[in-house]
Amino acid sequence: MTTLSGRFEILKESGSYRNGRFLGERHSFLTPVFMPVGTRGSVRLFPHDLLDQIGFEVVLANTYHMMLRPGADVVAKLGGLHRFSGWPNAILTDSGGFQVMSLDANFDLDGVSFRSVYDGAKAYLTPENAVRMQELLGSDIAMVLDVCTMLPASTDQLKEALYLTISWAKRSKAAHNRSDQSLFGIVQGGTDATLRKISIEATCEIGFDGYAIGGLAVGEERSLTLETVQLCCDSLPQDAPRYLMGVGDPYSIVHAVELGVDMFDCVAPSRVARHGVGWTSNGKVSVKQARYVASEEPLDPNCECDTCVRYPMALLNHLFKVDPVTLGVLLTRHNLTFMKTLISWCRKAVEEGNFNDPKRFVETYYS
């Protein structure tokens, strides 16, 4: 096995949950961590300097979109994603496997063919060129190319995706040459416990810097999601970070941290913001409701973000009608601040060895 380029340090452990630090060659970050999603190199309606001000240490970008526009070679010539996007901290790039799942894509043993969402041009993604693209992009953490299956799915469909993902993981690792970039494997298998165990054993045998739990929050009940997360956390290596892909609602994050997950990403905080919804210490708030037309109250009296400190609900209600772009910026700032605060609360709960308070909060307001 080649030497791992990233090192994971457990700072505090209490039962199954833990606080840690991922030490990459160029950037490090504390865990548990929530990663805002900048699919095309930036979080929609929210520049990276504002993310930095909130205190985020990692963002996610997507290889599928960046390879199509502006192109991985263009980004490389400009100094890589950090320079291109103006982001000074760690970057994780997804391989694009999840994105092509939603397209009219054709999978075979070698890779996946699809048409660009931008101009309809034919494109082909293989384990090797997915890794090569991420090396050109220069992210701190790259992901192997995997096959993600929407649920519900038949056992045969899950098996096919599972064994193709294992084969591609081997090829991805063999193709990976950038020593200052960590490479994570991805375990699949849907909510089938037997298939998950097969995937975990095979992926760990290959050996990666970290392990992602993929193929969840794609149509199954949340209880099944968390059952599968627990199975994976119980079986994955203790000395490597565990990354739950695409899951980012407050309820799932708190419960998954308690189960032993270290890393999360999700578009939900910014997506619901663009629809006029704020995540607050009193639950979800829709700013378009008529009762806020003349309200002097802040969105969340317990939040210290600029949106809550500066602006009354009356303005947010007004912006929903006349300037949704500005509203999206203001609510994205609040929702991402909320997520950062929630993760900090989880770290504190680990330190104290007691998850009762954050669990009670999400079960009251976000269940």
Q: What percent of the chain has pLDDT over 90?
A: 87
**Given a cut of 70, is residue 351 above it in pLDDT?**
yes
The pLDDT assigned to 114 comes to 83
Q: Is 94 a catalytic residue?
A: yes
**Residue 15 assigned to a binding site:** no
The pLDDT assigned to 102 comes to 66
**Given a cut of 70, is residue 3 above it in pLDDT?**
no
Cβ partners under 8 Å of residue 353, min gap 6: 14, 15
State the burial class of residue 162 (Cβ atoms within 10 Å of its Cβ: 0-12, 13-18, 19+).
buried
Widest Cα–Cα separation across the chain: 64
Report which of 344, 349, 333 is spatially closest to residue 31, judged by C-alpha positions.
Answer: 344
Instruction: Please say whether the beta carbons of 86 and 49 come within 8 A.
Output: yes
**Residue 239 assigned to a binding site:** no
**Given a cut of 80, is residue 94 above it in pLDDT?**
yes
Q: Which two tokens stand for residue 74?
A: 């263009």
Name residue 283's amino acid. Answer: G
Distance between CA 120 and CA 351 in Å, rounded? 51
**Residue 190 assigned to a binding site:** no
**Residue 104 assigned to a binding site:** no
The pLDDT assigned to 116 comes to 84
**Residue 219 assigned to a binding site:** no
**Vertex 331, ends 328 and 335: CA angle to 5°?**
130
**What's the mean pLDDT in 10-22?**
95
If one compares 116 and 275, the residue with the highest pLDDT of the two is 275
**Residue 148 assigned to a binding site:** no
**What's the mean pLDDT in 76-94?**
97
The pLDDT assigned to 2 comes to 34
Q: Which domains are delineated in the chain? A: 10-266 (3.20.20.105), 275-365 (no CATH)
- What is the radius of gyration, based on Cα positions, of the chain? 20
User: What pLDDT digit, counting tens, does each position of 34-57 carry?
Assistant: 999 998 889 998 999 999 999 999
The pLDDT assigned to 96 comes to 78
**Given a cut of 90, is residue 285 above it in pLDDT?**
yes
**Given a cut of 60, is residue 4 above it in pLDDT?**
no
Q: Is 323 a catalytic residue?
A: no
Name residue 268's amino acid. Answer: A
**Residue 207 assigned to a binding site:** no
Report which of 91, 94, 110, 114 is spatially closest to residue 102, judged by C-alpha positions.
Answer: 114
**What's the mean pLDDT in 259-285?**
97
**Residue 96 assigned to a binding site:** yes
Q: What is the mean pLDDT of the chain?
A: 94
The pLDDT assigned to 1 comes to 30
**Given a cut of 70, is residue 32 above it in pLDDT?**
yes
**Given a cut of 70, is residue 299 above it in pLDDT?**
yes
**What's the mean pLDDT in 265-287?**
97
**Of 140, 209, 262, 265, which is the active-site residue?**
265
Instruction: List 213's β-bridge partners, or say none.
Output: 187, 244
**Given a cut of 70, is residue 258 above it in pLDDT?**
yes
**Residue 308 assigned to a binding site:** yes
Q: What is the 8-class DSSP label of residue 180?
A: T
Neighbour count for residue 293 (Cβ, 10 Å): 12
User: What pLDDT digit, counting tens, does each position of 96-150 carry?
Assistant: 777 776 677 788 999 988 888 888 888 889 999 999 999 999 999 999 999 988 8
Task: Give the total residue count for the chain.
Answer: 367
Burial letters 71-97, b for 16+ CB under 10 A, else e: ebeebbeeebbbebbebebbbbbbbbb
The pLDDT assigned to 6 comes to 59
- Tokens 């392990």 map to which residue? 211
Report which of 85, 41, 87 is spatially closest to residue 65, judged by C-alpha positions.
Answer: 41
User: What pLDDT digit, counting tens, does each position of 157-214 carry?
Assistant: 999 999 999 999 999 999 999 999 999 999 999 999 999 999 999 999 999 999 999 9
* Confidence bin at 322 (pLDDT 50/70/90): very high
**Residue 95 assigned to a binding site:** yes
